[in-house]
Structure 1
Amino acid sequence: MADPTSTPTFSILLQRFFVEHLGHQRAVSPRTIAAYRDTFRLLLSFAEAEIGKAPTVLALVDLDAQFILNFLDHLENDRKNGARSRNARWAALRSFLKYAAHYDLTAIAVIQQALAIPMKRFDKPVLGYLSRPEMQAILEAPDPQTWAGQRDRALFSLMYNTGARVSEAIGLRVRDVVIDQTMVAHLHGKGRKERSVPLWRPTASLIRGWKRRLESAADDGFLFPNRSGEKDGAFECYAAPQACRCNCR
């Protein structure tokens, strides 16, 4: 019988990190878990090629600073990843190392040296913006005579009004947007963060008309559904095509 006080192996730590830490304790989004999972798939393949260790025999102390630097260089030079992708992969590894340090005291020195590796700096491009006429043209582009067009006009106006992410907007329930005297949208963001944003009168008017078009939609139904009444994932795919997994294109 295994000793419950013994130091867990790398494979056990990795499993606990995904199932217990990310899945239960932090309750991160499925998209974040998928990104972390892809990072470790790349890392495990690299470790097997670089130091000849299969995932089943890899140890936490193998992930020293030099190994991680070699892995990050591999991402940039061999896989042609940019600085943003490199930093995102390193952020996933850092999260795991910080978690693992609590359970494998023998690897603390190695982890401490690895965590000293900085994120790579890069030049951030100057953000562009649309003029008021250009923004108005986008808001008025959907055909208001059609079901989808009326939905999209209300959706675009709400996003412009509130600054909501696509995922936040399409995840709104009917009850989340109040158009009575208060006129406010209650948004549910990343990391279970919530915020309430006042609505402009034109936005509230569009949503009021759209709610009438929804007819008997329940309060817990999606405010901007597809024809089947479900969340319309196509909006997320077009906003973040690199993360699309549904072959919608």
Structure 2
Amino acid sequence: MKKPNKEAVAFSRHINDWLTVYVPTVQSSSAHTVKNHHDALSLFLHFITQVKGLDARTFSFKLLERQVIEEWILWLKNDRKNSSETCNNRLASIRAFIKYLSEKDVSLTYLACESAQIPRQRSVRKKVEGLSKNAVKALLNAPDTNTSTGRRDLVFLILMYGTAARIDEVLSMKIQHLHLHASKPYATIIGKGNKVRTLYLLPKVVAHLEKYIVEFHPTQLDPDSYVFYSRIKGTSTKMTQPAIAKRLHKYAAVANGECPEVPLNLHAHQIRHAKASHWLEDGMNIVQISFLLGHADVKTTMVYLDITTEQEEKALATIENEKDREIPKKWKKAPQSFAELCGLRVIK
């Protein structure tokens, strides 16, 4: 490769910092998220070098302008035959990176504004296949508790269903995040964007966790050790999502024989969705469910659970009742200048 220009060097440095430092520590601890961002940027670089015929000598940040990104999205859709959902995921990754760039270099702020205006591809949202309570019961009966692996997997399933946590949230849980001897036992969950939330644990979950810790953490507890771990060459490491997926498929096949409602291609997210649906069936308010799921917006939960119009009205009424509307607004006045809109100091 011939000597790159200054913008290409800066671009590569920002990519490295974003993928290896910012995303894993600030945006998300999920390896899956990092991989998605990495794939999106790799495809974008492939597009500008192999399709548009540019290289590190001719690179310019102008290649991140709206017109080029829209051309890239169409290339993904038409040439690579990516689905609308995949195109939208790639677009989200590029937007996140450009936003990061704009925070590092104010002269690139316009790129973030442009990318935010790029419309998403229209797609039909795939409904998550639910699990009935009978299906969940059959699934929990599937692990062989005569083996240590079966006992571990049972506790993992009980914790996932009991908290409706995301799979990576459970896999990332460490001993220090469990508070089993508090007056009201709870677990601290580190969610997307490193957002922290507290989930209280029911007695059944606590009892299984206590037995599990005695068996799988028999020596003095290390607060930084993972609750669920794999042993590789004598070292305890974080369990991987593919390993859990393999176990779930095995138990789904067993549970399907007892309850045909258990899908053979079961994935972890269906357990989370099932618990949220069961909370709703049991009369829990949408706002409470939204908090427990770690959703930033209650409307996300409404879409997630296919909430009816009537249920949506009740939820919104809970968020803001008549008294709330009479409370004076506490947020700041609207920005009076473009500089304020950009979060900059107004120079007088």
Counting only pairs closer than 5 Å after superposition, residues 14-29 of structure 1 correspond to structure 2 as: 14-19=12-17, 23-24=21-22, 27-28=26-27, 29=29
- TM-score norm. by structure 1 comes to 0.80
Report if the CA contact (8 A) 2:95-2:112 is conserved.
Answer: no
Q: Does 1:224 align with 2:201?
A: no
Determine the C-alpha separation between the residues in 2 that align with 1:91 and 1:182.
39
- TM-score norm. by structure 2 comes to 0.59
Counting only pairs closer than 5 Å after superposition, residues 197-208 of structure 1 correspond to structure 2 as: 197-208=199-210
Structure 1 residue 14: Cα displacement: 4.1
**DSSP-derived class of the 1:9 partner:** helix
Report if the CA contact (8 A) 1:75-1:86 is conserved.
Answer: yes
Letter in structure 2 aligned against 1:12:
A
**DSSP-derived class of the 2:229 partner:** coil
Determine the C-alpha separation between the residues in 2 that align with 1:203 and 1:155.
10
Distance 1:235 1:120, change over 3 A: same
Structure 1 residue 113: Cα displacement: 4.2
Letter in structure 2 aligned against 1:222:
Y
**DSSP-derived class of the 2:198 partner:** strand
Letter in structure 1 aligned against 2:17:
V
Counting only pairs closer than 5 Å after superposition, residues 1-249 of structure 1 correspond to structure 2 as: 9-19=7-17, 23-24=21-22, 27-28=26-27, 29=29, 30-101=31-102, 103=105, 105=107, 112-180=113-181, 181-214=183-216, 215-216=218-219, 218-220=221-223, 221-227=225-231, 228=234, 229-233=236-240, 234-235=242-243, 238=246
Unaligned runs of 5+ residues in structure 2 are 1-5, 247-266, 269-348
> Does 113-122 or 197-206 show the bigger shift?
113-122
Report if the CA contact (8 A) 1:44-1:54 is conserved.
Answer: no
Report if the CA contact (8 A) 2:171-2:228 is conserved.
Answer: yes
Letter in structure 2 aligned against 1:216:
T
**DSSP-derived class of the 1:196 partner:** strand
Structure 1 residue 182: Cα displacement: 2.2
Determine the C-alpha separation between the residues in 2 that align with 1:59 and 1:207.
54
Structure 1 residue 79: Cα displacement: 1.4
Report if the CA contact (8 A) 1:11-1:56 is conserved.
Answer: no
Letter in structure 2 aligned against 1:19:
D
Report if the CA contact (8 A) 2:19-2:34 is conserved.
Answer: no
Unaligned runs of 5+ residues in structure 1 are 1-7, 241-249
Determine the C-alpha separation between the residues in 2 that align with 1:39 and 1:196.
33
Structure 1 residue 157: Cα displacement: 0.4
Determine the C-alpha separation between the residues in 2 that align with 1:225 and 1:111.
40
Report if the CA contact (8 A) 1:65-1:114 is conserved.
Answer: yes
Instruction: Percent identity, please.
Output: 24
> Does 210-219 or 23-32 show the bigger shift?
23-32
Distance 1:11 1:81, change over 3 A: farther
Letter in structure 2 aligned against 1:188:
I
Aligned length: 233
Letter in structure 2 aligned against 1:123:
V
**DSSP-derived class of the 2:26 partner:** coil
**DSSP-derived class of the 1:16 partner:** helix
**DSSP-derived class of the 1:226 partner:** strand
Determine the C-alpha separation between the residues in 2 that align with 1:217 and 1:77.
57
**DSSP-derived class of the 1:55 partner:** coil
Structure 1 residue 155: Cα displacement: 0.9
Report if the CA contact (8 A) 1:44-1:55 is conserved.
Answer: no
